[in-house]
Amino acid sequence: MNKIIFSFLLFITSFFQSSAQKVYATKTGQIYFNATGEAVKIEAVNNQVDSKFVESTGQIIFGVLVKGFKFENQLMEDHFNENYMESTKFPKADFKGFITNIKEVNFSKDGQYAINVDGTLTIHGVGNKTSTKGTMMIQNGVPTLKGEFKVDVKSFGINGSYIGGKIASEAILKVNCKY
């Protein structure tokens, strides 16, 4: 009798476990920023990307603090914060959207899966609809997401005399998040 009750309970718990919404999260994702224009390298990295996604629906969010972008050159970092991103006024940037083909990712099988992402990217207080392609790598059940956003700097209300010259008018954001 006890065995039957035990098996029944085991069945119930496994049922609830499998139906629970699985959320993957990290606070140490990476985003590389590159806006190299004519000659000088303009690159930075942010190692405190806060990101979450839901396995069943593909809903995904990335959040970053603009001051967390670290440049090799302190002066460049100061210009980036003060003159372009105005990071005191707009301290955060985020992306909210969906991995539209999440069903094609088999989280229990190691491998690399192509993903499509759709959503709204908000930088400098301006939100723009965007979509991109990326990859989801599964290794021992741990997903790593890689993707790239091309950002038309001016469409986010970021102005500066060097944009289009020394600074590329289209910046690249490379995402690399291990959950």
Partner 1 sequence: MFKKIIFSLFIIGIVLAAGVYYYVFVYAVNNKRQASDQVAIVIAADSLTAHFTNNESLANSKYLNKVLQVSGVILETGVNQEEKSTVTLGTEGAFSNVFVTFKNKELLKKGDIIIVKGFCNGFLSDVVLVDGIVVK
Q: Say how far apart CA 52 and CA 64 lie, in whole Å.
A: 12
Measured CA to CA in angstroms, residue 5 lies from 2, 12, 18, 80, 93 at distances of 5, 11, 20, 64, 52
Using the contact rule CB under 8 A, the part of the chain among 16-24, 88-96, 101-109, 155-163 near partner 1 is 88-96
Query: Which one-letter amino acid corresponds to residue 11?
Result: F
- x-or-dash string of contact with partner 1, 33-62, rule CB under 8 A: ------------x-xx-x------------
- x-or-dash string of contact with partner 1, 108-147, rule CB under 8 A: ----------------------------------------
Helix or strand holding residue 18 (H, E) = helix 2-19
- Name which of 123, 100, 97 is nearest 113 in CA terms: 100
Using the contact rule CB under 8 A, the part of the chain among 12-20, 21-29, 154-162, 166-174 near partner 1 is 21-29
Kindly state whether residue 148 participates in binding partner 1, applying the rule CB under 8 A: no
Contact 147, 134 (CB under 8 A): yes
Q: How far is the CB of 3 from partner 1 (least distance, A)?
A: 37
Residue 84: partners with Cβ closer than 8 Å, 6 or more residues away: 153, 158, 160, 167
Nearer to partner 1, 65 or 172 (CB): 65
Among 37, 96, 178, 179, contact with partner 1 (rule: CB under 8 A): 178
Kindly state whether residue 74 participates in binding partner 1, applying the rule CB under 8 A: yes
Please give the sequence-ordered ranges of beta strands (E in DSSP) within 72-165, or none if there are none: 92-99, 111-123, 126-139, 142-152
Kindly state whether residue 29 participates in binding partner 1, applying the rule CB under 8 A: yes
Residues that bind partner 1 in the complex, under the rule CB under 8 A? 27-30, 45, 47-48, 50, 63-65, 67-68, 70, 72-76, 81, 88, 91-92, 176, 178
